[in-house]
Chains A and B, each alone.
Chain A
Amino acid sequence: GAVVSQHPSRVICKSGTSVKIECRSLDFQATTMFWYRQFPKKSLMLMATSNEGSKATYEQGVEKDKFLINHASLTLSTLTVTSAHPEDSSFYICSARRRGHPDGYTFGSGTRLTVV
């Protein structure tokens, strides 16, 4: 079945540093990738939508300069949390839209970011 590989699964970083999260579609071309953020015991909040080869579209309230999204190829999308702060600690999860697939969307396994 369709697989989206997300790395790293867990990361701890110091305040002020940047962290990159990768999502790779392993057996299909992901023209559209969605990035979500999930706080503990909360729902998934869409941060941005990225389309291959174009700039990401950010949801209202999401700082585009802080959460840099790059979707340079049909199999790779990255989210970089720049100058991370403790309040950026969260669970980040990507999702690729899969046209014609019964599931419709394939999710990565998520990245738990802790900023200390």
Chain B
Amino acid sequence: AQKVTQAQTEISVVEKEDVTLDCVYETRDTTYYLFWYKQPPSGELVFLIRRNSFDEQNEISGRYSWNFQKSTSSFNFTITASQVVDSAVYFCALTFTGGGNKLTFGTGTQLKVEL
């Protein structure tokens, strides 16, 4: 069975602070994909990144960066110099080949960025 844990239910930061959202996953498969999505108050899911299990390179995209570590089964997401527009719920998700391509979501982290 696969599982995604986002231990941080809610994080509040002041604008311009850096913030890291944690994601720990469990799967028995060697080939899997990890995702991060942003869900603003409007409800739609915004794709942020997909990473396959064979690519442990960290990724940076503007103020966003991701740290994938298979040794600790973690795929953490950092926002640098946070902005109010970053306020949203962030979900980490996992899928694996042979699992019907179903996405398993973590419980989400509510990020509040205040002025």
Contact = CB atoms under 8 A, between A and B. Distances in A.
A63 to B, nearest CB: 19
A110 B103 contact: no
A49 B102 contact: yes
Interface string B71-87: 00000000000000000
Interface string A65-108: 00000000000000000000000000101010100001111011
Contact of A42 (B42, B45, B102, B107): B107
15 contacts: A34-B102, A43-B91, A43-B105, A43-B106, A44-B91, A49-B100, A93-B43, A93-B45, A95-B45, A97-B101, A102-B50, A104-B33, A104-B35, A107-B37, A107-B45
Chain A interface helix/strand/loop/mixed: strand
Contacts of A109: 42-44
A46 interface: yes
Interface in B51-71: none
Nearest to B46: A107
B103 A105 contact: yes
Interface residues of B, number: 21
Interface of A: 32, 34, 41-44, 46, 49, 57, 91, 93, 95, 97, 102-105, 107-110, 112
Nearest to A2: B47
A43 B107 contact: yes
B109 to A, nearest CB: 11
B6 to A, nearest CB: 9
Contacts of A44: 45, 91, 103, 105
A34 B45 CA distance: 14
B50 A103 contact: yes
A9 to B, nearest CB: 8
Q: Which of B33, B102, B104 counts the most chain A CB atoms within 10 A?
A: B102
A102 B55 CA distance: 14
